């Protein structure tokens, strides 16, 4: 014990053996923020010494057990209860650990989801940046291409100038080089002369030298030195340069120049640089680039300036040689006559042809009238053949009838004996005279009551058609197509007239002729009816018909039989054209597809130019166009079975209308109604008119969806009448004025809010409230409006009869004086007609 330490009763200072166990308190944490104090014990290590001097061992520490501080109640528990409580504590610890692991797993899943979302956002941003970068790249490429094109253009222009400068410098260098070489050769000659003179003077020195060279040996002593190898090479090079210069000299050329040619192409044909041509043009006062076109006159001036000549050609030269030369008389052979049957509608043209052909064509024509030209061949009993063209008689088919007249050798004018001369009969006479073809008058329907052939002959005199009975040169035959009388005489007359005409053609050549009709067949494609005028048309020939061409895949005659060839005066249907030509176009056979394409391209360009010129509005007709723009229009889309019918419908519709309304054909075509036709009509709110054609399923569905009306017709009368009725329905209403009463103003008095009222007496008729009224002062109209109110004393009345006084007020008018006359009238709407 130390002196400074006091004695006490504390246990800290008691002496005794140590327990070897250290204890302490810690707080154990649980889930949901719960914690609990526990006692932790740790045993110290214990050294065990071996007596034999071996290495001492250390006992392992006892496992650390965390036990909560025991209360008095816990101290009284049995060991089994403590074990149970310890197991419960362990189970709680395991559950807490499981919940902690579950929470950490959920947190990890949330973190993974957030990472995926961030990756998706980053990917979208990257794609957006890539798209923007691609757009920027494309834009930069376009700008770069544009700049490159501009740079190339500038480079071409600059290169021409650079080439010119380079050639000029080259020529100067060559000239300077040649001059230097010439001077060098001259100096060399002078030196050689000096050397030779020295040799002559100093000849002894040469002998004294004792040297013998090859040059001295070959020279034979005195005389000039021979040319060296280098001099020979220079002379040969100079000779080659001279020959090259001679071969590169400009030679005059004959240049083929069309109506318009670009500067670049013109320079290429002259073998000149484009810069030279542009320079010449600039000296002439013409500023043009290499891509601009110049005309033939300008090209001729430029060519003359550069030492060339031109040969003028035209675009129409492609058709040169399409129509062959005239045939030699030795190659001509007799051919069948082509007869056009013409006349007024329903005068029996088709019935006459039926009687000749012993077929019933009328049953196949809608409404009993011919809608388009039919071409048929009739074989006589003696073996002779006659080709007939049946033309329509309706006024809408004037051009078709005119084409029939120009394509024939003889015209049969059918006139009904009971009707006489009709308007279309007169037109047929005019067409026949314009075509300068002979005419035979067939007086038909002689079996009917009231038939008077002499009446027909007398009426023909008014149109300068004199029959043989009246000492004229026109043959006439009385027939009855229904009974078949007079047909034999008609055939004899036709053959007699044909014999007088001496009709011949050369069959051993390429075919030529005219297109009688064209249509678009759903199963066969474009089909054209051709009439061969000379030559022979074979299957496989390359045919050019108007702006269309094609190889003849098949030929079909008038009896629907496939044939291999068609000779002169033979009508035939051809399959294989690229499109439907116009009726009346000429056709010809060419030798190659390239020539056919060239001709068709030229013709289509001409049609396109014609349309653009027609559509252009010049200054002169600008006011007319402005006036026409105020006219109401009825748009329609026309689809027909054949080209001739389509043209006839368009012509008939153009004749309809007046200064207030007209028909406007948006599109006209051949073939069935398609979905594109319906779309065009829907854009302009127009109906689709089908003439002997129908719409396909897609077109019908589209029309139902778009609300487009599709109307079908098979007779042109009905179509024209329908369009006329539709146009009349769109006309503004017209009114007729009907006067119902007259009155005289006796006095004027105040009428309160109404202003002034006229005291009147009805002189004639009635005065009615709400009708139109006109105020006359000294027979001059001073007001025209409506009656506002009508009173009898203080009562409003609807009507006041003659001889009765009344008071009248007017709408927006108070300038009334005694002595004025009133005229009451009504407007009655009436139906408008075209």
Angle at 322 between CA 319 and CA 328, to 5 degrees: 140
Q: Which of 810, 819, 809, 813 is nearest to 747 (CA)?
A: 819
Say yes or no to pLDDT of 619 above 50.
no
Say yes or no to pLDDT of 243 above 90.
no
Say yes or no to pLDDT of 542 above 80.
yes
- The residue-averaged pLDDT of 6-35 equals 60
Judged on CB neighbours under 10 Å (0-12, 13-18, 19+), 520 is buried
The pLDDT value recorded for residue 202 is: 47
Report residue 417: phi and psi, to 5°.
-70, -25
475 - beta bridge partners? Answer: 440
Query: Is 254-315 in CATH node 3.30.420?
Result: no
Q: Which of 483, 504, 481, 515 is nearest to 412 (CA)?
A: 481
CA–CA distances in Å: residue 662 to residues 138, 205, 748, 758:
51, 123, 51, 48
The pLDDT value recorded for residue 62 is: 45
Confidence grade of residue 65 (pLDDT, cut at 50, 70, 90)? very low
Domain 334-504: CATH class, spelled out: alpha beta
CA atoms within 13 A on the CB side of 208: 5
pTM reported for the whole predicted model: 0.50
What is the CA 695 to chain-centroid distance, rounded? 22
Query: Coil, strand or helix: which one is 784?
Result: strand
> Which letter does DSSP use for residue 57 in this model?
E
C-alpha–C-alpha distance, residues 294 and 202, integer Å: 77
What six digits make up the tokens of 256? 């083929």
Give the torsion through C-alpha atoms of 420, 421, 422, 424, to 10 deg: 130
What six digits make up the tokens of 538? 């074979």
Q: With helix as H, strand as E and coil as C, how does 184-207 read?
A: HHHHHHHHHHHHHHHHHHCHHHHH
- End-to-end CA distance of the chain, in Å? 150
Homologous superfamily, domain 631-729: Translation initiation factor IF- 2, domain 3 (3.40.50.10050)
C-alpha–C-alpha distance, residues 787 and 824, integer Å: 9
**The total number of residues written for the chain in this structure:** 834
Of all residues in the chain, what percent carry a pLDDT higher than 90?
7
Residue recorded with tokens 């409230």: 769
Confidence grade of residue 198 (pLDDT, cut at 50, 70, 90)? low
> Which letter does DSSP use for residue 322 in this model?
T
Query: Coil, strand or helix: which one is 700?
Result: helix
pLDDT digits (tens, 9 = 90+) for 362-404: 445 555 555 555 777 887 777 788 888 877 655 544 555 556 5
Q: Which of 370, 365, 293, 339 is nearest to 437 (CA)?
A: 339
Q: Which of 432, 430, 488, 490 is nearest to 463 (CA)?
A: 430
Among the four given CATH numbers 3.30.1360.70, 3.40.1160.10, 2.40.30.10, 3.40.50.920, the one describing domain 512-613 = 2.40.30.10
C-alpha–C-alpha distance, residues 441 and 343, integer Å: 10
Give the torsion through C-alpha atoms of 208, 212, 217, 222, to 10 deg: -20
pLDDT digits (tens, 9 = 90+) for 420-478: 888 888 888 887 887 778 888 988 888 888 788 888 888 888 888 888 888 788 888 88
Confidence grade of residue 626 (pLDDT, cut at 50, 70, 90)? very low
Say yes or no to pLDDT of 743 above 90.
yes
Contact predicate 754/812, CB 8 Å? no
- What is the rounded average pLDDT for all residues in the chain? 78
Say yes or no to pLDDT of 249 above 70.
no
The pLDDT value recorded for residue 4 is: 47
Say yes or no to pLDDT of 361 above 70.
no
Q: Show the beta-strand stretches assigned E in 672-727.
A: 688-691, 710-713
760 - beta bridge partners? Answer: 745, 806
Query: Coil, strand or helix: which one is 354?
Result: helix
Among the four given CATH numbers 3.90.79.10, 1.10.260.40, 2.40.30.10, 3.30.450.20, the one describing domain 734-830 = 2.40.30.10
759 - beta bridge partners? Answer: 747, 807
pLDDT digits (tens, 9 = 90+) for 650-703: 888 888 877 778 888 888 888 888 888 888 888 788 899 999 888 888 888 888
pLDDT digits (tens, 9 = 90+) for 307-319: 898 888 776 667 7
Report residue 160: phi and psi, to 5°.
-60, -45
Say yes or no to pLDDT of 42 above 80.
no
Q: Which of 827, 825, 822 is nearest to 806 (CA)?
A: 822
Residue recorded with tokens 């008691």: 14
Contacts of 78 (CB under 8 A, 6+ apart): none
The pLDDT value recorded for residue 192 is: 75
The pLDDT value recorded for residue 551 is: 92
505 - beta bridge partners? Answer: 333
C-alpha–C-alpha distance, residues 790 and 767, integer Å: 8
Higher pLDDT, 322 or 373: 322
Say yes or no to pLDDT of 730 above 60.
yes
- CB burial string 352-386: b at 16+ within 10 A, e below: bbbbbbeeeeeeebeeebbbbbbbbbbeeeeeeeb
Say yes or no to pLDDT of 55 above 80.
no
Confidence grade of residue 405 (pLDDT, cut at 50, 70, 90)? low
Q: At what angle do helices 79-201 and 229-247 cross, to 10 degrees?
A: 110
Angle at 703 between CA 715 and CA 725, to 5 degrees: 40
Contact predicate 537/565, CB 8 Å? yes
Contact predicate 238/231, CB 8 Å? no
Q: Which of 614, 633, 630, 552 is nearest to 589 (CA)?
A: 552
What six digits make up the tokens of 269? 């044909």
C-alpha–C-alpha distance, residues 745 and 817, integer Å: 7
pLDDT digits (tens, 9 = 90+) for 488-503: 888 888 888 888 888 8
Provide long-range contacts, Cβ within 8 A and 24+ apart, for 430-435: 431/342, 431/401, 431/402, 431/404, 431/405, 432/342, 432/405, 434/402, 434/405, 435/405, 435/406, 435/408, 435/411
User: How many Cβ atoms are within 10 Å of 678's Cβ, its own excluded?
Assistant: 24
């Amino acid at each position: 014990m130390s002196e400074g330490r006091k004695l006490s009763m504390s246990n800290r200072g008691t002496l005794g053996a140590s327990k070897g166990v250290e204890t302490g308190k810690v707080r154990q944490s649980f889930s949901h923020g719960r914690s609990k104090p526990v006692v932790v014990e740790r045993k110290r290590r214990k050294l065990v010494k071996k007596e034999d001097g071996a290495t001492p061992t250390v006992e392992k520490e006892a496992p650390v057990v965390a036990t909560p501080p025991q209360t008095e109640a816990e101290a009284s528990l049995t060991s089994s209860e403590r074990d149970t409580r310890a197991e419960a504590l362990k189970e709680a610890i395991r559950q807490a650990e499981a919940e902690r692991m579950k929470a950490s797993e959920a947190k990890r899943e949330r973190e993974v989801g957030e990472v995926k979302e961030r990756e998706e956002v980053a990917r979208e941003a990257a794609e957006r940046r890539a798209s923007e970068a691609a757009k920027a790249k494309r834009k930069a490429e376009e700008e770069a291409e544009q700049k490159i094109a501009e740079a190339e253009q500038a480079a071409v222009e600059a290169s021409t100038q650079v080439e010119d400068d380079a050639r000029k410098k080259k020529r100067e260098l060559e000239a300077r080089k040649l001059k230097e070489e010439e001077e060098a050769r001259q100096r060399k000659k002078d030196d050689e002369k000096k050397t030779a003179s020295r040799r002559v003077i100093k000849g002894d020195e040469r002998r004294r030298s004792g040297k013998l060279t090859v040059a001295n040996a070959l020279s034979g002593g005195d005389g000039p030195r021979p040319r060296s190898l280098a001099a020979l090479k220079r002379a040969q090079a100079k000779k080659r340069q001279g020959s090259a210069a001679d071969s590169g000299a400009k030679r005059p050329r004959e240049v083929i120049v069309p109506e318009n040619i670009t500067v670049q192409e013109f320079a290429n044909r002259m073998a000149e640089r484009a810069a030279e041509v542009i320079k010449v043009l600039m000296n002439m006062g013409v500023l043009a680039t290499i891509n601009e076109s110049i005309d033939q006159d300008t090209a001729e001036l430029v060519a003359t300036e550069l030492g060339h000549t031109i040969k003028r050609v035209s675009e129409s030269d492609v058709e040169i040689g399409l129509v062959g030369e005239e045939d030699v008389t030795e190659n001509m052979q007799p051919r069948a006559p082509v007869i056009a049957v013409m006349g007024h509608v329903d005068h029996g043209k088709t019935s006459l042809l039926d009687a000749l052909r012993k077929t019933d064509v009328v049953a196949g024509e809608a409404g009993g009238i011919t809608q388009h030209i039919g071409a048929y061949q009739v074989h006589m009993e003696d073996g002779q053949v006659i080709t007939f063209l049946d033309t329509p008689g309706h006024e809408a088919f004037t051009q078709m009838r005119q084409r029939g007249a120009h394509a024939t050798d003889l015209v049969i004018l059918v006139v009904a004996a009971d009707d006489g001369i009709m308007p279309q009969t007169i037109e047929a006479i005019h067409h026949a005279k314009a075509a300068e073809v002979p005419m035979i008058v067939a007086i038909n329907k002689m079996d009917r009551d009231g038939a008077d052939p002499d009446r027909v002959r007398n009426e023909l005199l008014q149109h300068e058609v004199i029959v043989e009975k009246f000492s004229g040169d026109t043959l006439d035959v009385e027939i009855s197509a229904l009974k078949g009388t007079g047909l034999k005489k008609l055939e004899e007359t036709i053959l007699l007239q044909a014999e007088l005409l001496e009709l011949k053609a050369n069959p051993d050549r390429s075919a030529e002729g005219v297109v009688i009709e064209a249509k678009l067949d759903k199963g066969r494609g474009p089909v054209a009816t051709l009439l061969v005028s000379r030559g022979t048309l074979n299957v496989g020939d390359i045919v050019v018909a108007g702006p269309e061409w094609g190889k003849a895949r098949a030929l079909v005659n008038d009896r629907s039989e496939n044939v291999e060839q068609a000779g002169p005066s033979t009508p035939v249907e051809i399959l294989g054209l690229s499109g439907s030509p116009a009726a009346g176009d000429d056709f010809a056979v060419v030798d190659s597809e390239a020539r056919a394409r060239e001709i068709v391209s030229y013709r289509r360009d001409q049609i396109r130019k014609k349309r653009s010129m027609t559509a252009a509005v010049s200054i002169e007709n600008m006011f007319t166009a402005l006036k026409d723009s105020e006219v109401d229009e009825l748009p329609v889309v026309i689809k027909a079975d054949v080209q001739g019918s389509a043209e006839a419908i368009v012509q008939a519709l153009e004749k309809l209308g007046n200064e207030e309304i007209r028909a406007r054909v948006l599109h006209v075509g051949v073939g069935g109604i398609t979905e594109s036709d319906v779309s065009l009509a829907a854009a302009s709110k127009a109906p689709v008119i089908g003439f002997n054609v129908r719409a396909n399923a897609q077109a019908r569905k589209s029309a139902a969806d778009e609300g487009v009306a599709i109307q079908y017709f098979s007779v042109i009368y009905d179509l024209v009448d329908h369009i006329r009725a539709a146009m009349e329905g769109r006309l503004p209403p017209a009114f007729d004025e009907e006067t119902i009463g007259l009155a005289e103003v006796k006095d004027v008095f105040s009428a309160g809010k109404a202003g002034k009222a006229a005291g009147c007496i009805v002189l004639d008729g009635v005065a009615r409230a709400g009708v139109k009224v006109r105020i006359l002062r000294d027979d001059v109209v001073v007001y025209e409006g409506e009656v506002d109110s009508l009173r009898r004393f203080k009562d409003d009345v609807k009507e006041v009869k003659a001889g009765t006084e009344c008071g009248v007020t007017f709408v927006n008018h108070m300038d009334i004086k005694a002595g004025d006359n009133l005229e009451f009238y009504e407007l009655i709407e009436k139906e408008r007609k075209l």
